[in-house]
A = this chain, B = another copy of it.
């Protein structure tokens, strides 16, 4: 792809300063960009890179426009990172357009519906009665189980399994009696699901992922979980069954949310934390063991196992001193 700065502005907005005929053939980070590349300055903390970059054009916020224009062509826009996101989308559509339709190697069971403009990649499986919304892109090697419904404009990456059975068993005389999972999975519009992520079908009612949710790779979503609109979760997260996550929440990589809990809207969970109780107040929550050199960790971890005793000893000392 090769476009001029003027063409970019014509499509995506913003204001150019400098040479609008500057040709651009790549988007690149400031520190490695060359004369035919466009870059962006998303945070003032990268400002030092501005003077050094060889980029042919830099996308900047108004506050830095003058400084950036002093070194060459710029596009000025209120949110350069957002501008970069939209530019990258245009680039991708142009460079590697995804053809609508079902790859001949995919297996689509009778009664499944594939919406207009939707695509199903190679070697994917779509079960009976499943619904794939308009413009949704199902990658290669994806499973969409029977009766599961995916909205419009979603992106489902390779290896995803939607609609496997939830993990439900009744204990009986030391064995586990299977609870058949009769629900399905309902996914809203504009949802993206990362590679090898699993979303289980519900036991009786459906597992629900609302509009605009973004899930990274290797995430486990248990049965009857409800994830509110516009949540984002990083890789390796596990959400146990029947958890109810509010809207606009974020969950950091490797965090675990236990079952039957509730998270309010705008709750943010730090990576690798374990949510073991409901959180009803917006905010950032954490529970991560601090890393240390192994010798220090060993001493602290050993002491941690006696922490309660330490507290008792402290209390005894306090009493002793108070009594004197």
Contacts and interface: CB of A to CB of B under 8 A. Distances in A.
Interface of A: 27-29, 32, 79, 81-82, 84-86, 88-89, 91-92, 95-96, 103, 105, 107, 121-125, 127-128, 139-141, 143, 145-146, 155, 157-159, 161, 164-165, 167-170, 172, 174-182, 190, 192, 194-196, 198, 200, 203-205, 212, 214, 216-218, 220, 222, 230, 232, 234-236, 238, 240, 248, 253-254, 256, 258, 269-277, 279, 283-294, 296-308, 310-311, 313-314, 317-318, 320-321
A141 B143 contact: yes
How many copies of this kind of chain does the complex include?
Answer: 3
B220 A217 contact: yes
Given A89-B179, A198-B235, 5 more contacts: A139-B143, A167-B194, A169-B214, A299-B308, A300-B304
B158 A164 contact: yes
Residue from A181, A291, A299, A311 having most chain B Cβ neighbours under 10 A: A291
A30 to B, nearest CB: 10
A103 B107 contact: yes
Contact of A307 (B92, B271, B286, B304): B304
A82 B236 contact: no
23 contacts: A28-B204, A85-B177, A92-B181, A103-B107, A105-B107, A107-B140, A143-B195, A165-B192, A167-B235, A176-B232, A196-B196, A198-B217, A220-B236, A236-B256, A240-B271, A271-B274, A276-B290, A277-B291, A285-B294, A290-B301, A296-B308, A300-B308, A304-B307
A205 to B, nearest CB: 7
A50 to B, nearest CB: 17
Contacts of A203: 88
A212 to B, nearest CB: 5
Contact of A230 (B155, B175, B279): B175
